[in-house]
Amino acid sequence: MRGYHAPVEFSPSEAALLSRYFTNLDRPVFALRNLPEVVKGALFSRYSRTEKSLRRVLLDEFINDPESGFAGIAASHVFGVGTPADVDDMVAVKRAEEFYERVLVGYGDDSVAELAGAHVAVERVSTLAAKALEDSRIGISPLEKSTRYVRFDRPGPDGRRLYHRGPELSHPAYEPAADALFETFSSLLEPLTTAIRERFPIEPDETDRAWKSATRAKALDLLRGLLPAGTLTNLGLFGNGRAFEYLITKMSASELPECRALATDLHRELAEVIPSFVKRAVDDRYGKPAAERLVRIRTSLQKVARRTGGEAKPGVRLLSFDADAERKVVQAALYTYSDTPLDSSIQADPDAVLEALLGGRANRRQRAPRALERAQYEFEIVANFAAYRDLHRHRMLTQERQLLGTSLGYDLPPALADLGMDEAFRRAMDSATAAHQRMEADIGPALAQYVVPLAYRVRWYFRVNLRELYHLCELRTTPQGHPDYRFVAQEMFRLASEVHPRLTRYATFVDKGAGDELERRKSERRWDEKLRTLGGPVL
C-alpha cells in the first residue's frame, strides 16, 4: 500500500491481510470493506465486549478461528485475484452465520441487529404495497421509481398494462377500469407534451436536453393522477436487521394479500444474506404472535370505526399546537449551556435567544437546531394520493392515512383544462369511480383501493415538531416541486406561522410564491451547468 506504515500492533503479514478489510490500519477512524454483512454484525457485537481494537478482533477471533468459516470468505476477496474455483463463498458465509449465532446468543443484545443490514430490490409491486414497504420511520431508507421522470404506461413483455393482478382482484370491474386509465394516460401524453412545448418554447440559453426533460416532466406531472393505485413500481430498500425484522412482521399482518406475499418474499431473500437478523420475524415465539396481534387490533377497530363518505376540498387544518412552545424552545436552547433544570424559570430575551439559535442560516441544508423539537403541531390534510405519495417520504414525523377511495373527490390539473384536454381525464375518473363503488361493495374497501387513480383525495394527519416542519416546508416548497405538495407544505407553514410567528420567521427558505409554470426548467439548467463543470456532454 503506497504511503502505508504498519503500526507496531501488527506484523507485516498481518498488516497485509488486514489491509483488504479496512481503509487504513494506523488511524483511529477507518471504514470496513470487502466483508459480508454477517461478518460486520458479528464483528461489532464482539467489539462491544472486549478491550481489543476492532482490527485485532477480526484477526484473532474471525480470521484465525477455523470455526468462523472466514478462510473461504478471505479467499474470495483477494485484491486483483478472481475467486478460486474451489471456494464456495456462500458456504463460507453460512459458516460465518452459524458463528454469528453463537455470538448473538452469548451477548443477547437486540441492538446488534442494527449494526449490519442489506440492500433489497422490490420490483413490479403496486403503489399501494410500495407505501406499506416505505412506511417504516427508522432503520430503512427507500428509493422509489419517480412518476415525474419515468413513463408508467408502457406495457409489459406480455403486452398487458403494468398494474397489480391477483386472485383477490378478479372482480369484473377492475381490469377494464385500470386499462381505461392507462389508455387515457397514453393517448394524452404525446399531444400534451407537444402542447406544453408550444407554450414553453426552447430559450436561447437552454440546451435541447434541458428543454425536453423539463417539458416531458411537466406532461408526466399533469397526467400522473390517472395512474391507478395498483400501478406497478420498483423500489430499493436499505435497512438494518432490526428494521427489516419488524417490517416483515407488519407486512405479514396486512389486509392486502400482496403485502402478505411480499413479507414471505422479503424473509426468504433476507434469510440468504442476514438470516440471523430476520429469523424471529416469522417464528412461533415472536413473529407470528406479533402479526396475529396486529390483525386483532385492526379487526376490532374496524368494527367500531365509522365510514360516512362525503366530498372534501383539498386543504390543511391545524388541529392542535403547544401554546407554550416559544418558552419551551428558549428553555431548550439555553439548557445545554446552563446548570438549571429544563423547566426552571429562565429570564432571557426570547428574541435574542432565537436570533442566536437560528439567525444567519445561509441555506436550508443548515439544519434547524434540536431545541425546535419541543414545539409540536398536529395537522390534518386532504390532498390527492399522488401528493401523499411524495409527502409520505418524511418518515421521522408521526403520520397515518385513511383508506384511499373516491368519496372525497379528485383534483383536475388546471393546465389540462387550459389546454382543452380535461374531458378525457374526467371520463377516466368517472369510469374508475364506478368500478371502485362496485368493488368496494363486493370485495371491501381495502382491495377496492387498487383501482382508485392517484388524482383522488385522501385524508391523513401529521404530528410534527417545528424542527421537522422547517425541513419539510423548506424542502417541499421549492419552485421546482410539484404544485400539489407545494400547496400542502405552504399551508402547513402558514398555519404554524399564525400561532408562532417568532418561531417560524427564521424558516427563510420556505418559498411562499406560486412556483414556476415549467417547474423543472431551472433545475435542468443547473444540471447542465454541473455536467459542464464535470466535463460531461451537454446536448
**In 3D, which of 334, 362, 369, 361 has the Cα closest to residue 350?**
334
Average model confidence (pLDDT) for the chain?
88
Question: What pLDDT digit, counting tens, does each position of 82-123 carry?
Answer: 444 344 455 555 665 666 566 555 555 566 667 778 889 999
Say if residue 168 is exposed, middle or buried (CB neighbours under 10 Å; 0-12, 13-18, 19+): middle
Query: Which residues neighbour 152 within 8 Å (Cβ) at sequence distance 6 or greater?
Result: 145, 162, 185, 224, 227, 231, 232, 233
* Residue 289 predicted with pLDDT over 70: yes
**Can you give the pLDDT at residue 97?**
63
What confidence score (pLDDT) does residue 110 get?
Answer: 64
Q: Give me the sheet containing 398-401, strands edge to edge.
A: 315-321, 376-384, 457-465, 398-401
Calpha distance 250→511 (Å, rounded): 37
Q: Rounded CA gap, 421 and 176, in Å?
A: 22
- Rounded-to-10 torsion of CA 287, 291, 292, 293: 110
Q: What global pTM score does this model have?
A: 0.87
pLDDT in the model for residue 86:
41
Strands (DSSP E) contained in 218-272 are 232-240
Q: What is the pLDDT of residues 411-427, one digit of tens each?
A: 999 999 998 899 999 99
Strand partners, 378: 320, 463
Q: Are 120 and 247 in contact (CB under 8 A)?
A: no
Give residue 178's pLDDT.
Answer: 97
Phi, psi of 377 (to 5 degrees): -140, 150
What's the rounded Cα separation, in Å, for the pair 475 and 245? 31
Q: What is the pLDDT of residues 52-91, one digit of tens each?
A: 888 998 998 888 877 766 766 655 444 333 444 344 455 5
Tens of pLDDT along 16-59?
989 999 999 988 888 888 887 767 777 777 776 677 888 998 99
| Structural domains in the chain plus CATH codes | 12-114 (no CATH), 117-304 (3.30.1360), 315-413+455-525 (3.30.1360.170)
* Residue 519 to residue 379: CA distance in whole angstroms: 27
Residue 201: helix, strand or coil by DSSP?
Answer: coil
Report the chain's terminal Cα–Cα distance, integer Å: 41
234 C-beta neighbours (distance < 10 Å), count = 14
How does residue 347 score in pLDDT terms, banded at 50, 70 and 90? Answer: confident
Distances (CA, A) of 60 to 34, 57, 67, 94, 231: 18, 5, 12, 20, 52
Question: Residue 426: is it exposed, middle or buried by C-beta count within 10 angstroms (0-12/13-18/19+)?
Answer: middle
Cα–Cα distance between 225 and 216 in angstroms, integer?
15
Cell of 388: 401523499
pLDDT tens-digit series, residues 185-222: 999 999 999 999 999 999 998 999 999 999 999 999 99
Instruction: Give the Cα separation of 310 and 318 in Å (integer).
Output: 21
Residue with cell 404506461: 153
> Mean of the pLDDT values across residues 244-255?
96
Under 8 Å between Cβ of 417 and 438: no
